[in-house]
Amino acid sequence: MGRVHDAKPEPHPVDRHVGRAIRLRRRGAGMSQQVLAAWVGVTFQQIQKYERGANRVSASVLHAIAGALGCAPGAFFEGLETGGGGKGGPRPGQITGLVADMLAAPGGAELAAAWLAVPPGPVRSRLTALVLAVGDGAREVSAG
């Protein structure tokens, strides 16, 4: 008989939200994962897991991360609505995701800054069309 492998559960939406917020603030501060890890007293791999939401951040570590990044621990929960969390976590639409996902993605903050530097008009419209076409092509390749 073959060995049964349990599928790894998806990170909880709140853990993903907090992780994205940590990543955004860390990048905004121009701090590497290694430097943040040293401040907090964990490995940079642990910071990676926190930022992906794969591991939950304990209250004491979240407090240390907030201190290193110069914010209050509650800042990592901004944009996360309360209530309706239940067993399944927040309902869809309770977590503002697209902007946070883009800014937390590698190159996302740089792309957003470059985008804002392009004046509204035909060039920005063509860039939008290009990005949409590339995204559609990527989805077709991954689905096929």
Reported as a single tens digit per residue, the pLDDT across 120-137 is: 888 888 888 888 888 887
Q: Which residues on adjacent β-strands are paired with residue 95?
A: 80
The SS3 of residue 30 is coil
Contact assessment for residue 14 and residue 90, using Cβ atoms and an 8 Å cutoff = yes
For the domain made up of 1-105, the CATH class stated in words is mainly alpha
Q: Which is higher by pLDDT, 35 or 13? A: 35
Quick one: tokens of 41? 């007293």
Quick one: tokens of 106? 């590698």
- Going along 1-144, which residue ranges are E strands? none
CA distance 103 to 80: 16
CA distance 33 to 31: 7
pLDDT digits (tens, 9 = 90+) for 61-71: 999 999 999 98
Contact assessment for residue 80 and residue 14, using Cβ atoms and an 8 Å cutoff = yes
For the chain, the domains span 1-105, 106-144
- pTM of model > 0.85: no
